């Protein structure tokens, strides 16, 4: 495996942000009430992550290390505002249901974490691959979590089927905040079982 594919694929399983490092919990717990929200949030975060990783890696020799975090935040914030504007212009209803959590991508630890841990020490291509992998991993995790919560909590899968798909009475609990923790716990456990049995 070349290093580039390695940088890309590590975000999808070995270091998948939400389940392995347990970073980015705030959006993961707050917006994953429907599959559509989870996917939208993931895509928005991936866009910011790829762009900021690329740009920070490009500027890694220009930015003095004393003010690097301030520079990273400005760059990340600019991309987040750009995403917010684009979403409002072209995906209005999604931006309404994600609400405050779009601007809050600025403080998503995954993005600043990848900038600090990876992009500032590696080349542009590797950083782009890392950002894309981590972003897709985050999206995957959010979508799985959101699908589980929507299916169990509301009994629907709005993005795929228009109508209720769960025949039993849905547990409204999974739509609320405590349900988010329980659903995340179940997935984390599942993840650990899977990776143990693989060894």
Residues that bind another protein (CB under 8 A): 59, 62-64, 66-67, 70-71, 74-75, 77-78, 81-82, 85-86, 88-90, 92-93, 96, 99-100
Convert 24-45 to b/e letters by CB count within 10 Å (16 or more is b): beebbbbbbbbbbbbbbbbbbb
Min. distance of Cβ 71 from another protein in angstroms? Answer: 5
Q: How far apart are CA 32 and CA 142, in angstroms?
A: 7
* d(C-alpha 150, C-alpha 9), whole Å: 28
Cβ distance to another protein smaller for residue 20 or 60 = 60
Q: How far is the CB of 65 from another protein (least distance, A)?
A: 10
State which residue, 67 or 194, has the beta carbon closest to another protein.
Answer: 67
Query: Treating both helix axes as pointing N-terminal to C-terminal, what angle do 177-198 and 124-153 enclose, rounded to 10 degrees?
Result: 120
CB of 132 to another protein, least distance (A): 22
Between 16 and 55, name the residue whose CB sits nearer to another protein. 55
Q: State the Cα–Cα distance between residues 142 and 27, nearest whole angstrom.
A: 9
Q: Which residue, 29 or 140, has its beta carbon nearer to another protein? A: 29
CB 64, min distance to another protein, A: 5
User: In which residue are the tokens 């790829």 written?
Assistant: 50
């Amino acid at each position: 495996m070349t290093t580039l594919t390695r940088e890309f694929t590590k975000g999808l399983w070995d270091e998948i942000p939400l389940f392995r490092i347990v970073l980015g919990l705030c959006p993961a717990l707050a917006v994953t009430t429907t599959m559509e929200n989870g996917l939208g949030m993931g895509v928005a975060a991936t866009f910011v992550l790829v762009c900021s990783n690329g740009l920070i890696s490009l500027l890694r020799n220009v930015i003095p290390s004393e003010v690097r975090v301030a520079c990273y935040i400005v760059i990340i914030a600019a991309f987040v505002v750009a995403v917010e504007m684009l979403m409002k212009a072209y995906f209005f209803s999604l931006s309404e249901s994600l609400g405050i959590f779009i601007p809050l991508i600025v403080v998503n630890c995954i993005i600043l974490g990848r900038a600090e841990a990876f992009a500032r020490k590696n080349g542009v291509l590797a950083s782009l691959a890392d950002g894309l992998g981590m972003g897709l991993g985050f999206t995957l995790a959010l979508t799985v979590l959101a699908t589980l919560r929507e299916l169990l909590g509301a009994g629907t899968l709005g993005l795929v089927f228009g109508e209720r798909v769960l025949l039993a009475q849905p547990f409204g609990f999974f739509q609320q905040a405590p349900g988010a923790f329980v659903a995340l716990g179940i997935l984390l456990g599942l993840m650990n079982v899977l990776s143990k049995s693989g060894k």
